[in-house]
């Protein structure tokens, strides 16, 4: 069975849909804020050249999702499913970024809850690979229930902290929702 890495997922605040080539200018506008990338290994991703490489990679991944504000359709950011491993029954969620005006609120949590709910229809665990210096991302995944589970190299060969959410733990924490 294959994993649908580009579903349309809609919550109260955010709608996730497959990234398309037409999203370049809107998403690049969000990504042009250098503070978004201040704790990221690629601190230059706010530049047009670096963002274009990122965007082209996202399009080619067949797992990238764009996040839109449900109230007005404004592009808020993006995220991605990656590395579906049916034997390990896991998939990675990553490459997430949001415009700063959405930081600290409920948007990232809702976005991840939508993605986790979708993932747990097919896998037993979801992983997040985070650069050790990226404290903001570590706090964000901890807020949604991810726990440290060692280290792993990412696709670029960088040593990352591995965080994991299991379907059993997530369902137990959300049985009333």
CA atoms within 13 A on the CB side of 109: 10
CA-based nearest residue to 21, from 55, 72, 63: 55
**In the predicted model, is pLDDT for residue 1 greater than 80?**
no
pLDDT at 107: 94
Q: How far apart are CA 170 and CA 14, in angstroms?
A: 20
Written as six digits, the tokens of 68 are 């839109």
DSSP state of 86: T
Reported in sequence order, the residue ranges of 9-104 that DSSP labels E, i.e. its strands, are 9-10, 14-18, 64-69, 75-85, 90-98
* pTM for this prediction: 0.94
More confident residue, 66 or 176: 66
């Amino acid at each position: 069975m294959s994993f649908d890495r580009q579903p349309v997922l809609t919550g109260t605040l955010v709608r996730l849909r497959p990234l398309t080539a037409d999203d370049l200018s809107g998403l690049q506008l969000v990504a042009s804020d250098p503070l978004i990338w201040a704790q990221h290994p690629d601190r230059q991703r706010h530049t047009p050249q670096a963002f274009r490489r990122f965007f082209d990679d996202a399009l080619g991944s067949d797992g990238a999702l764009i996040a839109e504000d449900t109230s007005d359709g404004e592009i808020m950011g993006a995220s991605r499913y990656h590395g579906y491993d049916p034997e390990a029954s896991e998939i990675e969620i990553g490459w997430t970024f949001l415009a700063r005006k959405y930081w600290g609120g409920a948007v990232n949590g809702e976005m991840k809850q939508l993605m986790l709910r979708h993932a747990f229809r097919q896998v037993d665990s979801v992983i997040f690979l985070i650069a050790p210096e990226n404290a903001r991302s570590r706090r964000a995944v901890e807020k949604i229930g991810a726990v440290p589970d060692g280290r792993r190299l990412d696709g670029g060969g960088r040593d990352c902290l591995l965080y994991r959410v299991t379907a059993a733990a997530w369902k137990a924490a959300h049985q009333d929702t």
